[in-house]
Amino acid sequence: MLEKAIFAAGCFWGVEDAFMSLPGVVSTRVGYIGGSMENPTYQDVCNHGTGHAETLEITFDPLQISYQKLLNVFWECHDPTQLNRQGPDVGDQYRSAIFFLSPAQKNIAEESLERLDLSGRLRRRIVTEIVPATIFWEAEVYHQKYHAKNGCGCGF
């Protein structure tokens, strides 16, 4: 049975790049979650009035890739110590967040964050939110697989 994972780690184009080709990842789609506005647009989210984060929803086969392995990629594909930014992208829509879909995902995410925080690998404390998933609003078609369709200028 397939499962889903939802992560926010900066601009969703680069985050999607980090996950879409992993063995066991069946599909990805970018969108918005964590805010108050229904059916937000990219422009709405960029205007900072919705509370939504740019997000990646991953559908995966847990027999091929575990949620923990997805979390490992999540921690590596961005800087979880930066509050409301990733690189040149600044704003609450670029925050680092794990939106859990079950108590098991919540526990695995919290343990993973604690292990990384205590490992000493990072210079600052992790600011990643671990919060329950709400409605995932799919982003506009032109954002889906953006780098695959338009070339990647992100360095991934």
Coil, helix or strand for 6?
A: strand
Rounded Cα distance, 138 and 28, in Å: 11
Give the number of C-alpha atoms closer than 13 A to the C-alpha of residue 25, restricted to the C-beta side: 21
Torsion angle, alpha carbons of 62, 100, 89, 45, to 10: 120
Is 77 among the catalytic positions? no
Rounded Cα distance, 80 and 95, in Å: 9
Rounded Cα distance, 117 and 46, in Å: 30
The contacts of residue 107 (CB under 8 Å, 6+ apart) are none
Out of 11, 46, 152, 154, the active site residue is: 11
Catalytic (active-site) positions? 11
